Amino acid sequence: MNFIRTTIPDVVIVEPTVHGDHRGYFVETFRADKLEELLGYKINFCQDNESKSSKGVLRGLHYQLPPHAQTKLVRVIQGSVLDVAVDIRRNSPTFGQHVSVELSADNKKQLLVPRGFAHGFVVLEDDTVFAYKVDNYYSPQCDRGIAFDDKDLNINWQLEHGELKLSEKDTKQPKLFNIEDNKEIFEAGINYYE
């Protein structure tokens, strides 16, 4: 298993080792000990989620406020997505910057999206199955989002605007710098893992 820190070092690409032959393949998709050694803190994933989507579906950018903030380990089982993590920690030197990585069933890459980041993805192939682990349960009261097309974020979603399929909720999210209650945005340097 190979771990690659991105341009925002807290966001990590995970490249599992694939053992394959004429019969198929075997891959270890998660190792808590190796991930915790890299990160320097414990990960206690408590729930696995899965979605199936058609090409053009865009889900995001979503996050949860503390105390229900979530770390996510995301991957694609079938098809492909462009996966995006946006740093929303107000005092972070990379606040408002993002990382985007193509995740697919073929490349088997995963992305670790820590607490303090908004997350979203756009589906690049029909019948894409997206799966992820979270380290905190969903809380409707703490559920928040940021506009996927916020010009200040400058995210290239790889598809034309007319090709995108969004939920009503995701068409009405605020821009990052227009969020009314700035206290809702994470503060860098807080240990969210205690």
Q: Which residues are catalytic?
A: 62, 132
**Cα(71)–Cα(115) distance, integer angstroms:** 5
Beta strand 128-134 with 72-78: parallel, antiparallel or unpaired? antiparallel
Question: Using an 8 Å Cβ cutoff, are 138 and 64 in contact?
Answer: yes
DSSP output for 41-110: S-----EEEEEEE-TTBEEEEEEE-TTS---EEEEEEESEEEEEEEE--TTSTTTT-EEEEEEETTT--E
